Structure 1
Amino acid sequence: MQFVHLADTHLGYRQYGLVERENDFFHVFNEAIDELIMERPDFVIHSGDLFEYSRPPTRALLTAQNGILRLKEEKIPIYAIAGNHDIVMRKNALPPQILYKDFGLKLISPKKPFYLENDVFIGGAPYTSKYHSKQLVERLQTIESKSKDYNKRILVLHQGIDRYIPYEYEIKIGDVPQSFNYCAFGHIHERVIDDFGEGKLAYPGSTEIWRSNEVEGYKKNGKGFYLVDIDGDMPEIEKIDLKLPREFIKETILFTKIREELSRIKQYVSNLNNKPLLMVTVEGGNFSRSEVYETLNHSLSHLCLAVRTNYKPTAVEDGKNLFENKNEALDIKKMIEHSLDDFKNEKVNRLATDLLKELSDGDFKMAETIVQNFYEDLYDH
């Protein structure tokens, strides 16, 4: 028996405010549907963040609907959970996936924590914030108990684990039950496949480049989904890669060689079929940031969908020894912890770090969710 495992499609995401990037996410989702239908799996699992927002734009809803209807026509069941981007932060609110119940999507939720697909147990839980991890662990123990009588058991979650993201996790690796044949995770956008307990733990990653820090992982491991065979004692996992519509280029150039570097980049991007996204970091030398910005945009903006610039600062060692030496990269986490030292409160420090990260990336919706979760936790106590 084979199934497809995908996650983090983020339909409706308009990266950098560009409608072209919103279309790219739709395009890749449709390509994923094409590819998985060609593979003819017995069923599909989507491990959360089907959408970018809990109230998705109409075109995102229609794109998901068309994909799910195509699966129904091909008699391929789909099971899904809500990720952090899918969840409406209001008591008893329903995630948008519920709209597709009559189209064949089976939503794993607290009210319906597991399903059976030809004697395969498929159980799990929607995203739970770090502030409610205790309730999630208790829920996982119940799900594990329910799965004991089945030979093939799949756990579906949308959570960060401390093993993979030490500063941003919601649960610890020791809290994940080890009795499942396959743990189908979402939330981390890099591909992960690990031996775990009696089977495998896997993140298929996002289907498109959602943040610029995913570029290196994409170049190394690609983007797409997994085709999983669970007939044997140990699941066999095949990576299915998707072709992204445009390149996401990251370059670091020396200011002293800016003309030569811009000529090289210009020659490369002018030969691409679709305009790329370009991130340029300029380092070395004394220069006016505004003048460098104008130079970059004048040379490349007509050839790129977007040109985003960064300037590598020279970190200065201060009297508090926040840095080991003047060349060490700025450690935002240390600075926040030092600034909030009087609070002596790990949760406040973590809140500040998380908020700075999301706001720096322009993810205001996620920042709002973090604040809501934080205050929900205060009220619960």
Structure 2
Amino acid sequence: MQFAHLADTHMGYRQYGLTERETDFFEVFDQAIEEIISERPDFAIHSGDLFEYSRPPTRALLTAQHGILKLKEAKIPIYAIAGNHDVVMRKNALPPQILYKDFGLKLISPNNPFYVIDDVFIGGSPYTSKYHSKALIERLESIEKSSQNYEKRILVLHQGIDRYIPYEYELKIGDVPQSFNYCAFGHIHERVVDDFGAGKLAYPGSTEIWRSNEVEGYKKNGKGFYLVDISGDIPEIENINLKLPREFIKKTILASKLQEELSRINQYISSLQEKPILMVTVEGGNFNRSEVYETLNQTLSDSCLTVRPNYHPTTIESEPNPFENGKEALNIKKMIEHNLKDFNSEKVNQLATGLLKELSDGDFKTAQTIAQNFYEDLYDH
């Protein structure tokens, strides 16, 4: 018996405020549906974050409806849970997936914690915050008990586990029941497959690049979903890769060779069908960030969908110590670094001092870019 396992499609996400990126997420979802149908699995599982928002835009709702109806026509039932982005933070509120009950989607929820298809147990729980982890553990114990009489058992969750994200988890690995043949997780956007208990624990990852820090993982492992065969004692898992609509390009260039490097980048971009997203880091020596920013935009704005610059000058002009030689002037930069030293984060220091410089110079556009890059680099779920 085979099934498709996907998660974190985040439809409705307008990345960088660009309608083109919102469309990209829709296109990848449509592609995933077509690939699932072509593989002809017995059923599909979506492990949460079908949408970016608990109140999705109309186009996202219609795209999901179209895909679920296509699965129904192909006689491929789909089982789903709500992820943290799908959850409405209101008591007894229902996630948007409930809209597709009559279109073939079977929602796994506290009221319907499991389903059985051809003697395969499919049970799980929607996303639960770390503040309610005790209730989630009790729910998992109940689900495990209900699954005991079935030969094949699948657990569906949308949670971060301490083994994979030590500082942002909601569930400890020791609290996950080990009796299931396959633990179909969502929430982490990188692909993960581990031996676990009686079978496998897997995250298929997001179907699109949701944050810039996913680019390296995408280039290494691809984006898409899993095709899982649970006929044997141990599940067999196949990566099904999707073709993303546009490239994410990450480049580090030297300020001293700026024009030469930009010319090379433009030459490569000219061979692409769709405008890429370019994340470029300029480093080396002292340089005027405002001038570099203008050069980047003048050279690349027409060929790229968006340019996301970052700056790493390797030398900084020395500044006099305000407390030496009787000088009374204050060095604000060093004061900030001193006060932030307890954060033990070089990135936080760079953010604060970088904003100080650009805002002091009146370069609000560069300051905004620095702040955006900082928050996009955080592992935000």
- TM-score past 0.5 threshold: yes
Gaps of 5+ in 1: 337-355, 368-381
Determine the structure 1 residue equivalent to 2:83. Answer: 83
The alpha carbon displacement at 1:22 in A equals 0.6
Determine the structure 2 residue equivalent to 1:209. Answer: 209
Deviations 1:17-55, CA, capped at 9 Å, x for gaps:
111101100000000010010000000000000000000
Determine the structure 1 residue equivalent to 2:355. Answer: none
Letter in 2 for 1:58: T
Determine the structure 2 residue equivalent to 1:241. Answer: 241
Confirm whether residue 153 of structure 1 aligns to residue 168 of structure 2: no
Using the alignment, how far apart are the partners of 1:278 and 1:59 within structure 2? Answer: 27
The alpha carbon displacement at 1:287 in A equals 1.4
Letter in 1 for 2:248: F
Deviations 1:276-332, CA, capped at 9 Å, x for gaps:
000111112111211111000100010000011111266999558949xxxx97154
SS of residue matched to 1:278: strand
Using the alignment, how far apart are the partners of 2:63 and 2:173 within structure 1? Answer: 35
Q: Call closer, same or farther: CA 1:357–1:123 in 2, change over 3 Å.
A: farther
Determine the structure 2 residue equivalent to 1:256. Answer: 256
Deviations 1:111-155, CA, capped at 9 Å, x for gaps:
110000111000000001111111111111111111111110000
SS of residue matched to 2:215: helix
* TM-score, length basis structure 2: 0.85
Q: Call closer, same or farther: CA 1:76–1:174 in 2, change over 3 Å.
A: same
* TM-score, length basis structure 1: 0.85
Determine the structure 2 residue equivalent to 1:227. Answer: 227
Q: Call closer, same or farther: CA 1:232–1:109 in 2, change over 3 Å.
A: same
Using the alignment, how far apart are the partners of 1:287 and 1:21 within structure 2? Answer: 32
Determine the structure 2 residue equivalent to 1:352. Answer: none
SS of residue matched to 1:143: helix
Letter in 1 for 2:222: G
Using the alignment, how far apart are the partners of 1:332 and 1:97 within structure 2? Answer: 38
Q: Call closer, same or farther: CA 1:22–1:319 in 2, change over 3 Å.
A: closer
Confirm whether residue 361 of structure 1 aligns to residue 367 of structure 2: no
Q: Kindly tell me the number of residue pairs found equivalent between the two proteins.
A: 342
Determine the structure 2 residue equivalent to 1:293. Answer: 293
SS of residue matched to 2:346: coil
Superposition misfits of 4+ residues, deviation over 3 angstroms = 313-323, 356-359
SS of residue matched to 2:303: coil
Confirm whether residue 50 of structure 1 aligns to residue 56 of structure 2: no
Determine the structure 1 residue equivalent to 2:170. Answer: 170
Using the alignment, how far apart are the partners of 1:209 and 1:311 within structure 2? Answer: 22
SS of residue matched to 1:361: helix
Gaps of 5+ in 2: 317-332, 353-370
The answer to whether the 8 A contact 2:204-2:225 is kept is yes
Using the alignment, how far apart are the partners of 1:28 and 1:2 within structure 2? Answer: 22
Using the alignment, how far apart are the partners of 1:320 and 1:146 within structure 2? Answer: 54
Determine the structure 2 residue equivalent to 1:374. Answer: none
Letter in 1 for 2:58: T
Q: Call closer, same or farther: CA 1:311–1:358 in 2, change over 3 Å.
A: closer
Determine the structure 1 residue equivalent to 2:320. Answer: none
Q: Call closer, same or farther: CA 1:279–1:321 in 2, change over 3 Å.
A: closer
Using the alignment, how far apart are the partners of 1:77 and 1:254 within structure 2? Answer: 53
The alpha carbon displacement at 1:360 in A equals 2.0
2:346 to 330, 340, 353: 330
The alpha carbon displacement at 1:362 in A equals 10
Letter in 2 for 1:8: D
Deviations 1:242-290, CA, capped at 9 Å, x for gaps:
0001001111111122122111111111111100000111112111211
Q: Between the two proteins, what is the percent identity of the paired residues?
A: 76
Using the alignment, how far apart are the partners of 1:358 and 1:271 within structure 2? Answer: 27
The answer to whether the 8 A contact 2:212-2:376 is kept is no
Letter in 1 for 2:48: G
The alpha carbon displacement at 1:224 in A equals 0.4
SS of residue matched to 2:208: coil
Using the alignment, how far apart are the partners of 1:329 and 1:92 within structure 2? Answer: 40
What is the root-mean-square deviation of aligned Cα atoms in Å? 2.6
Using the alignment, how far apart are the partners of 1:130 and 1:331 within structure 2? Answer: 26
* Structure with greater Cα Rg: 2
